[in-house]
A and B are shown apart, each in its own frame.
Chain A
Amino acid sequence: MAKHKTPLLDQLESGPWPSFVSDIKQEADARAKNEKGLDYQIPVDCPDDLLGVLEMSYTDGETHWKHGGIVGVFGYGGGVIGRYCDQPQMFPGVAHFHTVRVAQPNGKWYNTELLRNLIKIWELRGSGLTNMHGATGDIVFLGTTTPQLEEIFWELTHDLEIDLGGSGSNLRTPATCLGMSRCEYACYDTQELCYNLTQEYQDELHRPAFPYKFKFKFDGCPNGCVAAIARSDLSFIGTWKDPIKVDQEAVAAYVGGEIAPNAGAHAGRDWGAFDIQKEVVDLCPSNCISYEDGKLAIDHKECVRCMHCINTMPRALKVGDERGCSVLCGAKAPILDGPQMGSLLVPFMEVNKDDDYQAIKDLIENIWDWWMEEGKNRERIGETMKRLGMAALIDAAGVPVDARQVQEPRHNPYIFWKAEDVEGGWDRDINEFRKRHQR
């Protein structure tokens, strides 16, 4: 029997898409029955009260959650987000309802043993409700009380050897595509680099020392499945330098209709027979592909590695062998100064596990040193870049200036020349000047 009437939410139980309302109700029932006889460590009826408070929001069109205040585990500045209900008398089960961010395995692969162990903790000590996963990538445990936080952290670290994720003005939990684990396009091992940097920067992840949040994301190729270029302060996007490898027999199989283009992604509609000229050659953004006499040719010097031809004919075309990543800096959502896409800082970097990715770490630390010195409170690095200029970032990062870093050269001639750029420097003698020019 539901604790609160939820006529509006009940309407979200119908329709084909999975209903979060039905699921929360399912959890409310399970907790009420408590077949396992658990001694729940937070109110048993918290899912009921969550539905109650949500129904109230549906009725009056406003949230009923308050600012979090300072909650967390000892020694960490991030990982827990405080949350309190603004109608605690009506919904005591969720009066205190903090979120815990838990570090996910990179690529979000799980076995059921790990999942069961995670939910065992959360069933006993939390609401039994989660987000799998939050937008940044963490496992998100929704709703517990302050006395449980250290207990949860203890069990996560001692029993599962898993840590909390990041929140606040920290390095946020780095996120990666599934990379080489199941994708033929991955130009470097995104998961291993993500794991290595996550471990390297645990201190930055847990103790706020930055002007604002900082995100790393790792995309194995320019298709960008974790949206690094749009969401991360530093994006590592796989790329290559040498020619795309072409298997002419497989090209012929695509042309002949034996293999469906684009891995079959368009199978739901009759688009007609595959037309290699129209669908590949004419769509190449740098016009570097030709198809003549049954042979596909790519002028690889002109290729911009957009992935279209490879995506369209994955069995015929493969990324090159000289692989690494491009590094882009400064992406963010619009708050506060408008949206920013990551800007290309390093066109090509080797991703070298053998030296523990030292070149990448040097780059990161140069950038952080500059941002921690120059960045204002609550200023993302993209905004610092905008304020102080791309050239300042390039200089601070210690990377070479490169035409690839810009879309086009500057439109204005207001160049901030430095004294050392100019012959004779800036110190001049007014008396010498007056010898040539009367007052």
Chain B
Amino acid sequence: MAFISSGYNPDKPMEGRISDIGPRHFGEYLPPVIKKNFGKWDYHEIIEPGILLHVAESGDKTYTVRAGTARLMSVTHIREICEIADKFSGGYVRFTTRNNLEFQVETEEAAKELKTYLNGQTFPGGSHKFPVGGTGAGVTNIVHTQGWVHCHTPATDASGTVKATMDVVFDDFQNMKLPAPVRISMACCLNMCGAVHCSDIAILGIHRKPPIIDHQYLDNLCEIPLAVAACPTGAVRPSKVEIDGETYKTVAIKQERCMFCGNCYTMCPSLPLSDGEGDGIAIMVGGKISNRITKPAFSKVVVPYVPNEPPRWPTMTKVIKKILDTYAEDANKYERLGDWANRIGWERFFEKCELPFTEHLIDDFRDPAYYTWRQTTQFKW
């Protein structure tokens, strides 16, 4: 492997340097019909699952074909996407916020032809490459984080839990038979890079064991005051230990105060808290982003813990499927999952979804906890 220089000269790092130019302007990448009708769209329709029609004030029409992806994608895969875009959509393609692909085509026939083509593309292992769907009152792609693929703090895998979940809810990706859209999100630790805290259904990796203290290395790898300050509950304090006659500056942890957030580990790599037995998944439901009918809402924890069961996390997917199916059967048209649970009452939600209510579901974290307790005699038996 010979080193190939780009032109960068390490001896003169500032020479010819270009910085702070930001992204390219989006206007360069808009398909012609999009560019022409920018800001002048009249209405849209979902022709069938995965195919949208947008009609401009000018009368121009554009059809969008939407397909799911694994988000983690190789350059070989992206090259295939380019080939499809060149062949079908004039060399343009868009990625959605939820990691779907979108191709613009001119006619309904072309959209259906593209849908058939995309649905026909499979990996040698058998899975789809570009399954079409993700529109309307259904499940669209799961936004997620890195998990065991590339992150240093995860309590679970992201790509694997998402694959397992999407396989189980695939019918609802390709159809639109739910009462309202259901947004599933996945974050592999409490840091929530995926911001799952406002999702209809959230898969959240959690730790359950306090950090292990790597006493002999801690002072070399970490700033002790930063590790102490990182703890939101004051469980970490400076300390000293003696090992083999040598004294080390380190920290001590009041374990009963630990809420397993991992913030200390982020500040100090000598405080790892990952554990094959301790780690797993919490399931949260009932959040939303949109202001439609009801206000945006936070997700609520309804299952405090399911174990990591790679590769397919069967307990987790069973719970998700049960919640989704119960909601689909019971909710009113346009009613989001959390609005349904609010209407029937959360005591009824647990009953209908056949989930046990445990002490771990009663909030005890600071002031917001108070607003989750019941201050009324209105409840259901």
Contacts and interface: CB of A to CB of B under 8 A. Distances in A.
Interface string B265-285: 000010000111101000000
Contacts of A20: 70-73, 149, 159, 163
B311 A162 contact: no
A312 B293 CA distance: 11
Contacts of B8: 150-151, 153-154
Interface string B226-255: 000110100000000000000000000000
A231 B49 CA distance: 28
A14 B269 CA distance: 37
Nearest to B152: A65
Contact of A26 (B41, B74, B269): B74
Interface string A67-95: 11000001110000001000000000000
A265 B18 contact: no
- In this complex, the interface size class of chain B, counting residues with CB under 8 Å from chain A, is 35 or more
A80 B138 CA distance: 36
Contacts of A160: 24
Q: Which of A268, A269, A341 has the largest count of B CB atoms less than 10 A from its CB? A: A268
A132 B101 CA distance: 10
Contacts of B93: 110-112, 115
A184 B293 CA distance: 19
A153 B6 CA distance: 9
Nearest to A29: B76
B30 A181 contact: yes
B13 interface: yes
A268 B192 contact: no
A83 B91 CA distance: 34
A339 B167 CA distance: 30
A266 B333 contact: yes
Interface in B106-135: 123-131, 135
Contacts of A14: 125-127
Contacts of B326: none
A131 B151 CA distance: 13
A434 interface: no
Contacts of A182: 34, 41, 54, 62, 64
A350 interface: no
B350 interface: no
B150 A180 contact: no
Contact of A111 (B29, B96, B167): B29
A277 interface: no
Interface of B: 1-8, 10, 13-14, 16-26, 28-31, 34, 38-39, 41-49, 54, 62, 64, 68-79, 81-82, 85-86, 91-97, 99, 123-131, 135-138, 143-154, 157, 159-160, 162-164, 166-167, 170, 173, 175-178, 181, 187, 190-198, 229-230, 232, 261, 263, 269, 274-277, 279, 287, 289-294, 296, 298, 308, 310-312, 333-334, 365-366, 368
Given A112-B93, A150-B8, A227-B97, 12 more contacts: A15-B126, A22-B127, A27-B74, A57-B157, A103-B22, A110-B92, A132-B71, A163-B23, A227-B289, A268-B178, A312-B334, A334-B190
22 contacts: A11-B312, A14-B126, A15-B167, A16-B166, A17-B166, A18-B129, A105-B28, A105-B29, A110-B92, A112-B86, A113-B91, A130-B78, A132-B73, A142-B150, A186-B39, A227-B97, A229-B291, A230-B197, A263-B46, A264-B45, A266-B137, A279-B334
Interface of A: 8-27, 30, 39-41, 47, 50, 54, 57-58, 60-68, 74-76, 83, 97, 99, 103-116, 119, 122-124, 128-137, 142-143, 147, 150-155, 157-158, 160-163, 175, 177-178, 180-184, 186, 189, 191, 195, 198-199, 202-203, 205-206, 222-227, 229-231, 260, 262-269, 271, 279, 283, 285, 305-308, 311-312, 314-315, 333-339, 341, 377-378
